[in-house]
Amino acid sequence: MTETTDSTLAGLAAQVADACEAGRALTIAGGGSKPFLGEAPPDTNAEKLDITAYRGVVSYDPGELVMTARAGTLLAEIEAALDTEGQRLAFEPPHYGETATLGGTIATGISGPGRPYTGAARDFVLGTKIINGRGEVLRFGGEVMKNVAGYDLSRLMAGAHGTLGVLAEISLKVLPAPRFSRTRVFEFDAATAIERFNAWGLRPWPITAAYWEDGRAYLRLSGAESSVSAAMETLGGETLADDALFWADVREHRRDFFTRGDAPLWRLSVAPATPTLDLHGETALDWGGAQRWLVSDESPESIRAAVAAHGGHASVYRDAAGEPIRPRQHPMPAALRQLSQRLKHSMDPAGILNPGRIDPEF
Amino acid sequence: MSELPAAHAAGAGAPAPENDAKARMRAALTAELPEEIVLHAEEDLRPFECDGLSAYRRLPMLAVLPSTIEQVQAVLRICHAHDTPVVARGAGTGLSGGALPLESGVLLSLAKFNRILDIDTANRRATVQPGVRNLAISQAVDHLGLYYAPDPSSQIACSIGGNVAENSGGVHCLKYGLTTNNIVQIEIVTIEGERLTIGSPALDSPGYDLLALMTGSEGLLGVIVEVVVKLLPKPELAQCALIAFDDVRKAGNAVAEIIKAGIVPAGLEMLDHPAILATEEFVHAGYPTDAAAILLCEIDGTEGEVADDMARVREVVEASGATDIRISRDDVERALFWAGRKAAFPAMGRISPDYYCMDGTIPRRALADVLIGIGELSEQYGQRVANVFHAGDGNLHPLILYDANQPGELENTEAFGGAICRLCLEYGGTITGEHGVGVEKIDQMCVQFPSAELTQFHAVKAAFDAKTLLNPDKAVPTLHRCAEFGAMHVHHGQLPHPELERL
Give B246-296 pLDDT, tens digit per residue. 999 999 999 999 999 999 999 999 999 999 999 999 999 999 999 999 999
Average the pLDDT over A330-343 and give the result.
96
Task: List the CATH code of the domain at A3-176.
Answer: 3.30.465.10
pLDDT at B230 exceeding the cut of 60: yes
3-state secondary structure of A28: strand
Mean pLDDT of B174-183: 96
Residue B14 pLDDT exceeds 80:
no
Q: Where are the domains of chain A?
A: 3-176, 180-251, 260-318
pTM of the shown model: 0.95
Of B122, B181, B464, the CB nearest to A198: B122
Query: Do B237-347 and B352-485 agree at the fold level?
Result: yes
Beta bridge partners of B102: none
What pLDDT, on a 0 to 100 scale, did the predictor assign at position B55?
84
Q: What is the ipTM of this complex?
A: 0.97
> Residue A153 and residue B460: Cβ atoms within 8 Å?
yes
Q: How far is CA B232 from CA A319, B148, B219, in A?
A: 37, 6, 27
Question: In A, residues 35-64, which contact B (CB 8 Å cutoff)?
Answer: 61-64
The residues near B494 (Cβ < 8 Å, ≥ 6 apart) are B426
CB A217 within 8 A of CB A210: yes
Residue B479: pLDDT above 50?
yes
**So what's the pLDDT on residue B381?**
96
For the stretch A73-130, pLDDT in tens is 999 999 999 999 999 999 999 999 999 999 999 999 999 999 999 999 999 999 999 9
**A286: confidence class by pLDDT, cuts 50, 70, 90:** very high
Q: B352-485: which CATH topology?
A: Alpha-Beta Plaits (3.30.70)
The Cα of B212 is separated from the nearest Cα of chain A by a number of Å equal to: 6
pLDDT score for B12:
42
DSSP B247-286: SHHHHHHHHHHHHHTT---SEEEEEEHHHHHHHHHHH---
Predicted confidence at residue A354, as pLDDT, reads 97
d(CA B140, CA A198): 20
Of B113, B201, B124, residue with least CA distance to B159:
B113
What is the pLDDT, as a whole number, of residue A137?
98
Q: What is the pLDDT of residue A260?
A: 84
Angstrom CA distances, B56 to B8, B40, B380, stand at 5, 20, 26
Q: Which of B207, B259, B393 sits opposite A340 (nearest CB)?
A: B207
**CB contact B500 to A (< 8 Å):** no
CA angle A92, A120, A271 (to 5 degrees): 115
- B169 lies within 8 A of chain A by CB: yes
Q: For the structural domain made of B237-347, what CATH number should be given?
A: 3.30.70.2190
Residues 96-125 of B with CB under 8 A from A: 120-125
Cβ pairs bridging A and B (under 8 Å): 275
Percent of chain A with pLDDT over 70: 99
The predicted model gives B54-66 an average pLDDT of 95
Per-residue model confidence (pLDDT) at position B291: 97
The pLDDT value given to residue B280: 94
A88, closest residue in chain B (CA to CA): B262
> How close does chain A come to B253, measured CA to CA in Å?
10
**Closest to B225 measured CA to CA, from B185, B188, B182:** B188
Contacts A206 to B, Cβ<8 Å: 301-302, 305
User: A330 — contact with chain B (CB < 8 Å)?
Assistant: yes
Of B156-160, B332-336, B399-403, B495-499, least confident by mean pLDDT is B495-499
Rounded CA separation A101/A32 (Å): 9
Q: How far apart are CA B371 and CA A154, in angstroms?
A: 29
pLDDT confidence of residue B488: 55
- Comparing A150-159, A317-326, B70-79, B89-98, which segment has the lowest mean pLDDT? A317-326
- Based on its alpha-carbon atoms, the radius of gyration of chain A, rounded to whole angstroms, reads 21
Average pLDDT for B88-104: 96
Of the partner residues A140, A270, A332, the one whose CB lies closest to the CB of residue B202: A270
Q: What does the domain layout of chain B look like in residue ranges?
A: 19-109, 116-233, 237-347, 352-485
- The set of residues, in sequence order, having a beta carbon less than 8 Å from that of B207 and lying 6+ positions away, is A329, A332, A336, A337, A340, A358, A359
Considering the domain B19-109 in this protein, what is its CATH number? 3.30.43.10
Query: How, if at all, do strands A216-223 and A180-187 pair?
Result: antiparallel
Which residues in chain B are contacts of A311 at CB distance < 8 A?
A: 200-202
A149 contacts chain B (CB < 8 A): yes
Chain-centroid distance of CA B474 in Å reads: 15
pLDDT at B13 over 50: no
A270 touches chain B (CB under 8 A): yes
- For the residues B429-438, what does the mean pLDDT come to? 95
Among B264, B204, B203, smallest CA distance to B235 is for B264
- Residue B9 has a pLDDT of 45
* Res B5 pLDDT > 50: no
Buried-exposed string B19-49: b where 16+ CB fall within 10 A, e elsewhere? eeebeebbebbbeebeeebbbbeeeebeebb
Q: Which pLDDT value is given to residue B495?
A: 46
Give the architecture-level CATH label for domain B116-233: 2-Layer Sandwich (3.30)
Q: Which CATH architecture has domain A180-251?
A: 2-Layer Sandwich (3.30)
| Contact between B395 and A291 using a beta-carbon 8 Å cutoff | no
- Cα B334 from Cα B332, distance rounded (Å): 5
Phi, psi of A102 (to 5 degrees): -65, -40
Top residue of B96, B182, B204, B449 to mutate, by most chain A CBs within 10 Å, is: B204
Phi and psi torsions of A62, nearest 5°: -55, -30
